[in-house]
Amino acid sequence: MQLYLGEEMIDDYHTGELTRRQMLRRVLRICGSAAAAAVLLAACGEGQPAAPAPTTGATPPTPLPASTALPATAQPAATVQPSAPAATAQPQPGAAPLSVPATDPAVTGSDVTFQGDAAISGYLAQPAAEGSYPGVIVIHENRGLTDHIRDVARRLAKAGYVALAPDLASRAGGTASVGADQITGFFANATPEELVSDLNAAVVYLGQQKSVRAGSYGVVGFCFGGAYTLRLAAANPAITAAVCYYGVTPQPASQLSTTNAAILGQYGGNDARVNSTIPALEAALQSGGKIFKKQIYEGANHAFNNDTGQNYNETAAVAAWAETLSWFEQYLKG
């Protein structure tokens, strides 16, 4: 997890999300020591000391290396669905068309707290109209529970789901308390067992809501949350549908061979680091006879769905959201 999060910070630096000073500071906190940070930086081709030097301004972002997009169609297998043709995504300016404001009368949203091994905070969004709806866990990026992730929960609520976005930094007091520079370090030092335990507690709490249809649970996650989408799908047999946005395949990948979830993977064509882990995911799911589909959006980078970030790609985000809703329609509502 330290390597993965460190690579994320370096990617954020290269795409202009972070200054070099910010990146170095966060890598140091992820690794826990200057020596370990130096090793990680060298392994990622940075080759600079971990301690940030004084600077008077942001370092211009370095262009990303040429992409190595994977094929848009999965290898044939009886239980693996072929992917749709790869979408060619071009960045587009303007307001995010998918956003659902907190004031939208079709949805209600509120901060909640529930109990797991520790007290866990989160954000619960649901349709304003009374009814019985499938439930979906929304797993945030390595930045914690942000307004963007709350927005994603409301998007699901508007589409007819009860969505719970747990704050996986709750054991440290929550995202707001930990702070932007510290939060990746917290996640790097949290164990997968702790985080999956908190996610399992979120599934239990979601199922206790009177508006949630019993036995109808899905999960969607982004980046760090995409990886934990796969971990939760592997660990919790109640999850029947999962959508992983550009998350690395967890190790060992074989843990996914027994999942009950139909899994959709959504990836940016330029995201070579994450995409290199797709074959292991495919192999594990094929070996277990599981349902899997991947969609790769050519021209899109890592984190293309986040409309608050530098990598936002409207064309890819809109197409991927349509795929997400179609997947949940088939495997949660169907």
Question: What is the reported pLDDT for 49?
Answer: 45
pLDDT at 68: 34
Q: Is position 324 within any domain? A: yes
Are residue 130 and residue 186 in the same domain, yes or no?
A: yes
Indicate if 17 and 136 belong to the same structural domain. Answer: no
* Among 14, 151, 223, 307, the one annotated catalytic: 223
Contact by Cβ (8 Å): 317, 307: yes
| Same domain? 14 vs 125 | no
Q: What's the rounded Cα separation, in Å, for the pair 138 and 164? A: 6
Beta strands in 176-271 (DSSP E): 212-222, 239-245, 262-268
159 domain residue, yes or no: yes
Going residue by residue through the chain (334 aa), what tens digit of pLDDT does each one get? 655 676 667 667 766 677 787 767 767 666 766 766 675 666 566 765 444 444 444 434 333 333 333 333 333 333 555 454 455 554 444 468 999 999 999 999 999 999 999 999 999 999 999 999 999 999 999 999 999 999 999 999 999 999 999 999 999 999 999 998 899 999 999 999 999 999 999 999 999 999 999 999 999 999 999 999 999 999 999 999 999 999 999 999 999 999 999 999 999 999 999 999 999 999 999 999 999 999 999 999 999 999 999 999 999 999 999 999 999 999 999 7
pLDDT of 66 reads 35
In this structure, the answer to whether residues 117 and 225 fall within a common structural domain is yes
- Note down the domain range covering 306: 87-333
Residue 56 lies in a domain: no
Nearest CA to 264 out of 139, 89, 69, 84 is that of 84
Tell me how far CA of residue 321 lies from CA of 12, 140, 290, in angstroms.
23, 16, 22
Residues 137, 14 share a domain: no
Residue 55: inside a domain: no
128 and 236 co-located in one domain: yes
If asked whether residues 18 and 135 sit together in one domain, one would say no
Same domain, 170 and 268: yes
For residue 52, tell me if it sits in a domain. no
Whether the upstream peptide bond of residue 252 has omega within 30° of 0, thus cis, is yes
Q: Which residue has the tokens 């007819």?
A: 160
Q: State the catalytic residue, choosing from 167, 198, 271, 307.
A: 271
Do 183 and 265 fall within a single domain?
Answer: yes
Q: Is 271 a catalytic residue?
A: yes
DSSP for 280-333, written as a single string: HHHHHHHHTT--EEEEEEET--TTTT-TTSTT--HHHHHHHHHHHHHHHIIIII
* CATH at 320: 3.40.50.1820
The pLDDT assigned to 294 comes to 98
67 assigned to some structural domain: no
- Our count of domains for the chain comes to 2
Q: Are 246 and 320 in contact (CB under 8 A)?
A: no
Find, among 227, 231, 228, 232, the residue nearest to 217 by Cα.
232
pLDDT at residue number 21: 74
pLDDT recorded at residue 12: 72
Is 48 contained in some domain? no
In a domain, 186, yes or no: yes
Options 14, 140, 148, 302, the catalytic residue: 302
pLDDT value at residue 60? 42
Do both 128 and 237 map to the same domain?
yes
